[in-house]
Chain A
Amino acid sequence: MSVPYAKLPAWVDYGLIPLINLIVAFLVAGLVVLAVGESPLRAASLLIEGAFGYGEGIGFTLYYATNFIFTGLAVAVAFHCGLFNIGGEGQAYVAGLGVALPCLWLDQFAPWYIVFPAAILGAAMVGGFWAMIPGWLQAKRGSHVVITTIMFNFIASSLMVYVLVDVLKPAGSMAPQTRAFADGGQLPRLDWLLASVGLDIGGAPFNLSFLLALVAAFVVWVVIWRTKLGYEIRTMGHSPTAAAYAGIRQSRIIVITMMMSGALAGMMALNPIMGDQHRMQLDFVSGAGFVGIAVALMGRSHPAGIIPAAILFGMLYQGGAEISFEMPQISRDMITIIQGLVILFAGALENMFRPAITAFFATLGGSGSDKPLPAAE
């Protein structure tokens, strides 16, 4: 009756394995850098220096991380229900409307702390709605969410081009974007937060959305592991037959989970729109939805893993920009390759080293720790 394959101690599962994956990813990336005739060591130091070496770098790293926390949480919530939401990109994109419209209506006469809650609600509702349709199609018609969410990314993209070009673009402007928001549509930056540890964020758009992302991570933890709804979601995710036996209404849970997932992805739109550019531009999501998949995989779908994973990817984005600036041989595309490698090793090949590590720990006397994990796995 026993399931073969021993269990690993938690610190190996959640610490050592991701670390090994990461190191391998960087080694391979180093080879790529070497192949174009640059020094991998200099690239590495530029990366770290660029991401963490000075206040502005840190500000940018955390700004990107904010995006990835939201999209990573979105993917993770769906994972817990056994759903693979690849549509974070599109959900965040249309949710831009939920952010931009309240800003455009209210920014002239309301302060940011009035506009912000309206924008949060708008982002969550629009993003949630965009994910609800694939969820509903899955629940009622059996159309696989992987397929439908991808299709909804394309629909979102076309829709937003139309909206930006034909509806929201101010008359006479050449750029496909909304007008700039007045003060009410601009979130305060968190310069004071880094200033408290003696750093100056300079021009980095690190803003209040970051704190919202941390709150969202905590709320996700509570919902998944401490509420009845979360219990039902996890039951569905682990065993649909057990869920049916328990009387859990599957279609309801699928739709709710997708809405939560979409709402989280949608809130990502707050960060670039209200926190940085103070207007809605074409393609403001720029891949954050997809990075969220890697972040969720690497963070093992747990908020406590997602936050560090998001910061890691924030570092790659920011430090990567630095490298391509300093090392002309290494183009922006090379950075994408390096990020791709991290995704490959940390996400897709997540289990590559597991058998070897498991075997190694088995030879240590099979001392697989049974220390009960916290209910949160």
Chain B
Amino acid sequence: MNDIAIELKGIDKKFGLVHANKNINMRVRKGTIHGIIGENGAGKSTLMSILYGFYQAGAGDIFVDGRKTVIKDPNAAIAAGIGMVHQHFMLVENFTVLENIMLGAEESQVLNAGITKARDELRRLEQEYELEVDPDAVIEELPVGLQQRVEILKALYRGAEILILDEPTGVLTPAEADHLFRILEQLKSQGKTILLITHKLREIMAVTDEVSVMRRGEMVATRTTAETSVEELAELMVGRHVLLQVDKGPATPGDVLLSVENLSVRDGRGVAMVKNVSFDVRAGEIVGIAGVAGNGQSELLQAISGIRRAVSGKVLLQGEPIHVTGTADPSELRHRGLAHVPEDRQHMGLVLKFDESENSILGYHDDPKYLNGMFLNIDAIRKDATDKIEKYDIRPPNPRLKTANFSGGNQQKIVLAREMERDPAVLVIGQPTRGVDVGAIEFIHKRIIEMRDAGKAVLLVSVELDEIRSLSDRVLVMFDGRIVGERAPDAGEGELGLLMAGVEDSKEAAQ
């Protein structure tokens, strides 16, 4: 019996000058969960895309179950028993779960027979792996955690024995992530092999059997998880010692720079998402908003930054009212000293088709320093972008590269550099480190604390409770559109967790 599910020998891939994968050798044992970690841009997604047939390697061989296999496109990968769950789901939003799972595997022109068969098969898979989803639910009405389950079911339905998951927990709540890991354990116990890319070392320690580390296109180490530590992995990834704990002194809060009073906001469908929320953020402090995704944090950020109109309430920026229920618009707020790092960098914070330098002025493109009258001052824009690239160590350091070709963490740095370098009075940040590697997280956290220490008011929204607790000076918990409590950042995880789940009385309960 061969116990190697996948072996890669000498895989090499270049994108022009970028050497994304350099002579990669790797073995994945059958029936294990194998983690892959590495800095942003290390080449993890590229390697998995080669395995799944999206890209062709420049050199090297792939062995599946000991047999040399040419994977020229995703169909070939599926035929070889390899399935992939993408970070950005590839589902048809207005189809049902069942229809999505059958899509491309209908088997015959007449759907009916196939549907019955698919339904039975789906039921079997669901029972076997604890993957419950309603087969008749429409995708767009499902929360992301369930959509991801559909992606997994889709791969299993096509007979995947080897499952690749690229940053699957980036969009999940902690509870959803836990459930996902239970599913992965279950799959493993049935003999499936799982390749898991993640930036969260805690997850690596919790679920993987072995872990491979990539750095700048190379495979630098493989460890048995039980014999390594978070510290060692972080160091292997970045090539230097990484501070995993944020190092920050006490806050010295000053004047109130951002004041929110009785703010209510509805979403696009008219559902009340933010209900009568009030809080202040002072100069020199970081106020964190904790909460499970979808409890109104996004709408709150959008209303404060002028993107979404509020229904009622008042917001004061440096003591002056913002007309949040009417004419407030993002460019006006930028002029008045509010910078906003949006939660959704790919759709909101960046135009992926622009080159880096064009994105480095998004929202500030009316600043005279980037213009000659009505014309763009291309030289000034590129020069400015180059400075930011250097200061924020954005890789590759090329202001003319298309933004879509930067890795996730580097895209995030482009947004942060743009917003932080404006020296705003108030910085509003949503999910600052989503999909970002440990080295970059350290950097980003340091910059956020520097902003605080420079006397800025920082409002931080994150679904990562750890991040909220380590950065914030005060923690507000949001549930169902309301602020349900305020705690010090050293409050117990359990206590905050209860608040996040909407148990309002937890202060008493915890005592």
Query: Judging by beta carbons under 8 Å apart, are B405 and A370 in contact?
Result: yes
What is the distance, in angstroms, from B346's C-beta to the closest C-beta of chain A? 8
B375 near A228 (CB under 8 angstroms)? yes
* Residue A232 is within 8 A (CB to CB) of chain B in the complex: yes
Q: Per-residue CB proximity of B237-267 to A under 8 Å, as 1/0?
A: 0000000000000000000000000000000
- The reply to whether A227 and B307 form a contact with Cβ atoms under 8 Å apart is no
Which B residues touch A53, using CB under 8 A? none
Q: Which residues of B contact A375 (CB under 8 A)?
A: 355, 357-358, 378, 400
Query: Per a CB cutoff under 8 Å, which of A1, A247, A248 touches B407?
Result: A1
Residue in A1, A226, A362, A371 whose CB lies within 8 Å of B376 = A226
Tell me, rounded to whole Å, the shortest Cβ–Cβ distance linking A273 to chain B. Answer: 32
Q: How far, in whole Å, are A349 and B59 apart by their CA atoms in the complex?
A: 33
Determine whether the beta carbon of A366 is less than 8 Å from that of B358: no
Residue of B nearest to A222 (CB): B375
Residue numbers in A under 8 Å from B330 (CB-CB): 244-247
Per-residue interface assignment for chain A, residues 213 to 239, with 1 indicating a CB less than 8 Å from any chain B CB and 0 otherwise: 000000000100011111110110011
- Is B49's CB under 8 angstroms from A368's CB? no
- The proximity string for B residues 110-132 relative to A, scoring 1 for CB distances below 8 Å and 0 otherwise, is 00000000000000000000000
Among residues of A, the one whose C-beta sits closest to the C-beta of B376 is A226
What residues of A have a CB within 8 angstroms of the CB of B353 in the complex? 238, 377
The interface residues of chain A lying within 8 Å CB-to-CB of B296 are none
Q: Name the CB-closest residue of A to B382.
A: A375
Is residue B87 within 8 Å, beta carbon to beta carbon, of the partner chain?
yes
**B58: CB under 8 A from chain A?**
yes
A247 touches B401 (CB 8 A): no
**Shortest Cβ distance from residue A152 to the other chain B in the assembled complex, whole angstroms:** 29
Shortest Cβ distance from residue B175 to the other chain A in the assembled complex, whole angstroms: 24
Are B347 and A367 in contact, CB atoms less than 8 angstroms apart?
A: no
Cross-chain pair count, CB within 8 angstroms: 133
**CB of A5 within 8 A of chain B?**
yes
A247 touches B306 (CB 8 A): yes
Q: A4-B55, A242-B347, A369-B16 are in contact. Are A235 and B362 (CB under 8 A)?
A: yes
Give the total of A residues in contact with B, Cβ under 8 Å: 41
Query: Is the pair A231, B352 in contact by a Cβ cutoff of 8 Å?
Result: no
With A245-B348, A246-B362 as given contacts, are A2 and B49 in contact (CB-CB < 8 Å)? yes
Q: Is the beta-carbon distance between A370 and B18 smaller than 8 angstroms?
A: yes
Contacts of B365 in A (CB 8 A): 228, 231-232, 246
**B57 at the A interface (CB under 8 A):** yes
Q: Are B363 and A246 in contact (CB under 8 A)?
A: yes
Interface check A31, CB cutoff 8 A? no
| Contact of B173 with A by CB under 8 A | no
Complex Cα spacing A7 to B374, Å:
33
| Contact indicator B167/A1 (Cβ below 8 Å) | yes
Q: How far is the CB of A355 from chain B (nearest CB, A)?
A: 9
- B342 on the A face (CB < 8 A): yes
A253 CB to closest chain B CB (Å) equals 13
From 2 to 39 in chain A, residues with beta carbon under 8 angstroms from any chain B beta carbon are 2-7
Nearest 8 A/B pairs, CB to CB: A370-B16, A247-B331, A1-B408, A247-B330, A372-B400, A4-B54, A246-B363, A362-B56
Q: What are 24 residue pairs bridging A and B, where the CB atoms are less than 8 Å apart in the complex?
A: A1-B87, A1-B167, A1-B411, A4-B54, A5-B54, A227-B374, A228-B375, A238-B351, A239-B352, A242-B348, A244-B307, A245-B307, A245-B342, A245-B348, A245-B363, A246-B331, A247-B329, A247-B333, A247-B363, A359-B56, A365-B14, A366-B56, A370-B17, A375-B357
Residues of B within 8 A of A (CB): 13-18, 45-46, 49, 54-59, 72-73, 87, 166-167, 305-307, 329-334, 340, 342, 344, 347-355, 357-358, 361-363, 365-366, 371, 374-376, 378, 398, 400-402, 404-405, 407-408, 411, 435
A contact set with B: CB distance below 8 Å = 1-7, 222, 226-232, 234-235, 238-239, 241-242, 244-249, 359, 362-363, 365-373, 375, 377
